Amino acid sequence: MNNYKDKVKQDNRQQHNIQITTGLKYDNPQDRAMLDHMAHKFVSEHYKNYNDHLLNTLIRLEALPTGYSRAVEVNNQLQVLLCAEILPNWWLDQTDCHIICMLKQDNAPADMIKILINDCEQWAQQQGASTISIYSWNDRPAYDRWCGKLGYNPTQKTYTKELK
Domain positions in the chain are 4-149
Confidence label for 8 from pLDDT (cuts 50, 70 and 90): very low
Which DSSP state fits 144?
H
Confidence label for 49 from pLDDT (cuts 50, 70 and 90): confident
Residue 161 pLDDT more than 70?
Answer: no
pLDDT in tens, 80-110: 999 999 999 999 999 999 999 899 998 888 8
Confidence label for 44 from pLDDT (cuts 50, 70 and 90): confident
Is the pTM value of this prediction over 0.85?
no
At 132 the pLDDT is: 94
Backbone angles phi, psi at 20, to 5 degrees: -100, 130
pLDDT in tens, 123-145: 999 999 999 998 776 677 777 78
CATH of segment(s) 4-149: 3.40.630.30
pLDDT in tens, 10-27: 544 555 689 999 999 999
Residue 75 · residue 29 · CB < 8 Å: no
Q: What is the DSSP string of 6-71?
A: HHHHHHHHHHTTEEEEEGGGG-SHHHHHHHHHHHHHHHHHHSS---GGGHHHHHTGGGSTTEEEEE
